[in-house]
Chains A and B, each alone.
Chain A
Amino acid sequence: MKVVIFPPNSLILADLIERKGHEPLVIQREIRKKVTSAEIDSPPLNITEEEPIAGLKYAAIEVPSGVRGRMAIFGPLIDEADAAIIMEDAPFGFGCVGCARTNELCMFNIRKKNIPVLEVKYPTSREETMELVNKINEFLDSLEDKNG
């Protein structure tokens, strides 16, 4: 199954999903499409004027273009997903994940999609980390059962 993750570039989430034989939908995959096309050759042009237009599918015109531009990248991943894992309070504020409003919109879109969603908190201790990993594995196993 295709599992979308949030934060969309998390190493731990993507790795655990792959270990269980599912496909993680990560932002790197979308970024690769942008940066390997011939006409875009230098930052910060990874997002062109086309993206805010594409982002209109996910956010209204009044929404800042930065949010719509980001949604043009995150949106297709959410559309494609069969399940989702959200890790809240993750201390990642860098690069393309650094917009709080986009993050809220992404989580809203995931929750309203009516797919199996696991919501966990970013761990701060060894116990919490071990519980997080076990919860994720349990969730992924349950997806396998549903999938037959």
Chain B
Amino acid sequence: MSPAKNLNQTESRDNSSGEDENPQKTEENQETKPDKACDEQITRMFILGPSANISSTELVRKLHMMELPLTIKTTCYGAAISGDKDAVMNAVGEIRKVDPYNIFTKDRGFPPGDPRRCRAKRGGAREGFHQLEKEFELLDDVSKALKNPRKVKIKKIDKISPDEFRVIAENCK
């Protein structure tokens, strides 16, 4: 199912409860130690491939069942999670095991539901969605390639000498 077709679907935003998950709460820390806070609070997107065994609803249910301190958001392409780096990476590892060849993940700069990017506030698709939509078309083939790996030779491109270049240039005249 193409994410574009589901663009108008309603998004639900779920917090798996707990005060620590509120992104606003970390603002004080960010002011004093911006780099450390950035490293600790990360956002990841889960993108379900076209042949995935699970739906985004099931994906979100599984994320909730992990009982990790995460902000979880259902999206048309899968889900977005935000929280401490350790918890997020833990969830990424666990979710990949569910369907290793059809669940893809990617970092995201803005937190889920951020009013500066969220289409619920701005209208239209957010900037990164266009690229996601384009890459989504290739995901089925990517998962097939991952399932059936083949040995390939990588051709190394060497620099050419000035003499060789001169010959090529002269031939082009």
Which A residues contact B (CB, under 8 angstroms)? 7, 9-12, 14-16, 18-19, 24, 26-38, 41-43, 91-92, 94-95, 97, 118-119, 123, 126, 129-135, 137-139, 142
Contacts and interface: CB of A to CB of B under 8 A. Distances in A.
A10 B106 CA distance: 8
Contacts of A139: 154
B18 interface: no
B170 to A, nearest CB: 26
Interface residues of B, number: 44
A135 B138 contact: no
B13 interface: no
19 contacts: A10-B135, A12-B135, A15-B105, A19-B146, A31-B110, A34-B109, A35-B116, A36-B34, A36-B37, A36-B41, A36-B111, A42-B116, A92-B134, A94-B128, A95-B127, A129-B142, A130-B145, A133-B142, A142-B154
Nearest to B143: A133
B70 interface: no
A119 B31 CA distance: 40
Given A31-B109, A130-B141, A37 B30 contact: yes
B134 A12 contact: no
A102 B109 CA distance: 20
Interface of A is mostly: helix
A32 B106 contact: no
Given A28-B109, A37-B30, A11 B47 contact: yes
Contacts of B41: 36
A16 B43 CA distance: 18
Contact of B107 (A28, A43, A92, A138): A28
A129 B27 contact: no
A11 B135 contact: yes
